[in-house]
Structure 1
Amino acid sequence: MKKKLIALVVGAAAVMPAVAMADVTVYGRAHVSTDFLDDGADYSETNISSNSSRLGFKGDHQINPNLKAFFQIEQQINFNTGESDGGENFATRDTFVGVAGTNWGAVQLGRFDSPFKVARGPANLFGDQVGDMRNLTRVGNARFDERYDNTVQYTTPSLGGFNIKLAYSVYEGQSLVVDENHPDYNEDSDAFSASLNYAAGAFEGSLAYETAESNTGRGERDGLRAAAAYKLTDAFKLVGFYQTVEYDDSDATAVQRDLWTADVYGLGGEFKFAPNTAVKAMYMTRDADANNADSDMWVVGIEHKLDKAVRVYANYALVDNDDDVALTPWSQARTANPGDADASGEKATGFSVGLRYDF
């Protein structure tokens, strides 16, 4: 089914008149790495990983001088296996349609990254790589780095470098579920996310809040996130990160609520010692409410851009766990996530050499 759908999309694009395709862009990312992963106990193996690789179509249409329509369809593609994620679905990543005005901002509807998720951007030095910050921020059912179904989002115009994103997900799945035995069910299956963003000169920062009700897929939770980056010089950038998440779903056990309620702090930097080459490093710590369930992560890496589209890199990351937690530096945004690794109370490490090609 997936192959037929892709063939249909490509075939339709090939026969469309050139004028109809003028504002449609086909884009993507092939991001693959070779990783040596060690859980500190019994697992120590080499893997090939596809890291949030994707294929997408996007475009816009100018309705009048002050109004345009836009769309995007995006699918994850695993370049190490030749498969796409999401079963029979094609649009598993950010997929939406919307309208934008010159003076009033933009409104979009669909399934896409929440403002809270996007807000990590200023401090995201190792996104989709070994050492991604989500290995500490996206834990258990308290995770917030999500795309929500059935979402409407409003983005304000930029004003002095500031903008605001407001997103509301009305429910998950194809249609709203009505439960006559629990009449409040419909009211408890939504999520709200908002961010205040600023970028001007040497500074970039985001402050975000998100809340999900009890009948969303992972239960009731609230989170606050702040991320910032400041260029001290043209060559050196300093980044900082903070997140606090409260997981208080009534269906969870007290142990689960304490394990998943946590504060995360991070500090890092990037230094360009050549025009296309940079070294990066970051330290993060996760402080859980539960006793003996904290984790620290250290990441160092070097990245070289061969040109605007292609880059290569090498990273080393370590997560040091307390006895009652088993986080790793490789579990997020990557296909190489071995299920038989167990880093409980261990120092889990990952060494990765990667190639990323944006097209």
Structure 2
Amino acid sequence: MAIKLNAIKPAGRYLTVPATALALAVSTQAMADVTIYGRAHVSVDYLDDGADYSKANLSSNSSRLGFKGSHEINPDLTAFFQIEQQINFTTGSNDGDSASFSTRDTFVGLRGNFGAIQMGRFDSPFKTARGPANLFGDQVGDMRNLTRVGNARFDERYDNTLQYTSPEYNGFSMKLAYSVYEGQAATEEDDSSNAGSLSLNYAKGPLAAALAYETVGADNSRGKRNGLRLAGSYKVMDDLKLVGFYQSTDYKSGNSALRKQLSSDTYGLGGEYMLGKNTALKAMWMTRDADDSDYGADMWVVGVEHKLDKAVRVYANYAFMDNDKHSKLAPWAQARSAKPGVAATGTEAAGLSVGLRYDF
């Protein structure tokens, strides 16, 4: 469910909306329809690092508030925008820049028969390419606990990005994005903090798949790196969907030992079975095979999710991470406010989570 603010009415007529929405009404002239949307996603978790930490937590999981809208310039050209902010429902604080109202996907662009061009700060094509296999997004057991490790991570929103999205043709589409630099302005020393990202996507019938490549320059704050990603899902029958995922990361910065720790192949298989019209049983296994074999890990996740209606769902997940000798990954470290540090080195870390998600 989303709240729409229709074209602003002439002076003398007022709309009852939150103060943040009224800030958009800078004049009494007509403007594009604006939709207020968001997500409240909170869970109760029991987290165990396999050593000294074993505690219950309350977590806000990528909860958000956003505004989006569009304006038809002519039948062949439409302008669009989005402004999105992360919201913490448990403490009110935010891991990002709390002074900014654009911590999540924020952009402006034009679309038409040619496709769409947008500018701003938003998920890269490489990041969104995990979508077909993303069974536990923003939950305990999120695949990013294995794919987004240290400075070799790729699931990013890059600053100062331009993106082209092609029209869909027979199920196929393409996204091409380029980040020109980090921060507010380019500097003379900042010659290669750029990043390029490309994805080829397919969705038609029972099959959805994405193939993506991303490269980041040496002057980027996390160093030079390249990545390849393939994700897919296939509906074997109406009640059963199988998913697969593969990612190869080549980290090129730092010394040889660090490069071996962060360069890796990560892959996994999973499935979703509908127990009823609104209830799904989900499971996934993933492994991170680092170039240095002592830094690998395996993760198993199983969960059940029930949709109370289109807007509200509840779920319960159990995730288990088995770390190799020098690895210290946890199945709860990504997209959540309750992430009490890394797991103890070489241990088996686990998390049990019961959550409520309300999309509005």
- Would the TM-score normalized by the shorter structure come out above 0.5? yes
- Equivalent residue in structure 2 for 1:150, among 160, 164, 167: 160
Is 1:12 the equivalent of 2:13? no
What is the aligned partner in structure 2 of residue 203 from structure 1? 207
Q: Does 1:92 align with 2:88?
A: no
Which residue, out of 170, 175, 178, partners 1:165? Answer: 175
Counterpart of 2:315 in structure 1: which amino acid? Y
| Alpha-carbon separation, structure 2, partners of 1:302 and 1:16 | 48
CA distance in 1, matches of 2:339, 2:145: 11
Matched residue count:
342
Shift of 1:81: 1.1
Written as runs of structure 1 = structure 2, the 5 A alignment for 1:62-211 is 62-84=72-94, 85-101=96-112, 103-179=113-189, 185-186=190-191, 188-211=192-215
SS at match of 1:75: strand
Q: Which residue number corresponds to residue 233 of structure 1?
A: 237
Which residue of 2 is the match for residue 354 of structure 1?
A: 355
| Map of 2:289 onto structure 1 | 287
Rounded to whole Å, the distance in 2 between the matches of 1:74 and 1:290 is: 39
- The separation in 1 between residues aligned to 2:266 and 2:344, in whole angstroms, is 19
SS, match of residue 295 in structure 2? coil
1:312 and 1:15 map into 2 onto residues whose CA distance is 39
User: 2 CA distance for matches of 1:15 and 1:213?
Assistant: 40
The structural deviation recorded for 1:104 is 0.7
Over 6 Å off, 4+ runs: none
Q: Distance in 1 between matches of 2:236 and 2:309?
A: 25
Q: 1:264 aligns to what?
A: 266
Q: What is the Cα-based RMSD across aligned positions, in Å?
A: 1.4
- Aligned equivalents of 2:79 and 2:336: distance in 1? 33
Measured in 2, the distance between the counterparts of 1:203 and 1:342 equals 36
Q: Which runs of 5+ in 2 are unaligned?
A: 1-17
Q: Deviations over 1:230-268 (max 9, x none)?
A: 00111100000000000011xx12221111000001100
1:312 paired with 2:322, answer: no
C-alpha distance in 1 between matches for 2:28 and 2:271: 48
Aligned with 1:256: secondary structure?
helix
- Distance between the aligned counterparts of 1:291 and 1:277, measured in 2? 39
Structure 1 SS opposite 2:132: helix
Q: Structure 2 vs 1, CA of residues 66 and 331 (structure 1 numbering), >3 Å: closer, same or farther? A: same
TM-score normalised by the chain length of structure 2: 0.92
SS at match of 2:257: helix
Residues 321 and 343, structure 1, Cα contact 8 Å, conserved in 2: no
Aligned partners of 1:222 and 1:247 also within 8 Å: yes
Quote the sequence identity (%). 64
Match of 1:54 among 45, 56, 64: 64
2:326 is aligned to: 324
Shift of residue 23, structure 1, vs aligned partner: 1.3
How far is the alpha carbon of 1:12 from its aligned partner?
A: 2.2
C-alpha offsets along residues 153-180 of structure 1, whole Å, 9 cap, x if unaligned?
000000111001000000000000113x
Asked if structure 2 preserves the Cα contact closer than 8 Å seen for 1:76 and 1:92, the reply is yes
Write the distance in 1 (CA, Å) between the matches of 2:315 and 2:141: 13
Pairing partner for 1:31 from 38, 41, 54: 41
Give me the whole-angstrom Cα distance separating, in 2, the residues matched to 1:13 and 1:93: 18
Q: Give the counterpart letter for 2:100 in structure 1.
A: N
Q: Which letter does structure 2 place at the counterpart of 1:86?
A: D
Work out the CA distance in 2 between the residues paired with 1:177 and 1:344: 39
Give me the whole-angstrom Cα distance separating, in 1, the residues matched to 2:294 and 2:20.
Answer: 51
Q: 2:120 & 2:319 partners in 1: Cα distance?
A: 35
Residue in structure 2 matched with residue 4 of structure 1 by the alignment: none
- Output one character per residue of 1:8-53: Cα deviation in whole Å (capped at 9) or x when no partner: 6334247865953x51100000000000000000000000000000
Alignment partner, residue 3 of structure 1: none
Amino acid aligned to 1:352:
S
**TM-score, with length taken from structure 1:** 0.93
Where in structure 1 are there 5+ consecutive unaligned residues?
1-6, 180-184
Q: Where does residue 217 of structure 1 map in the other structure?
A: 221
Deviations 1:294-315 (A, max 9, x none): 1000000000000000000000
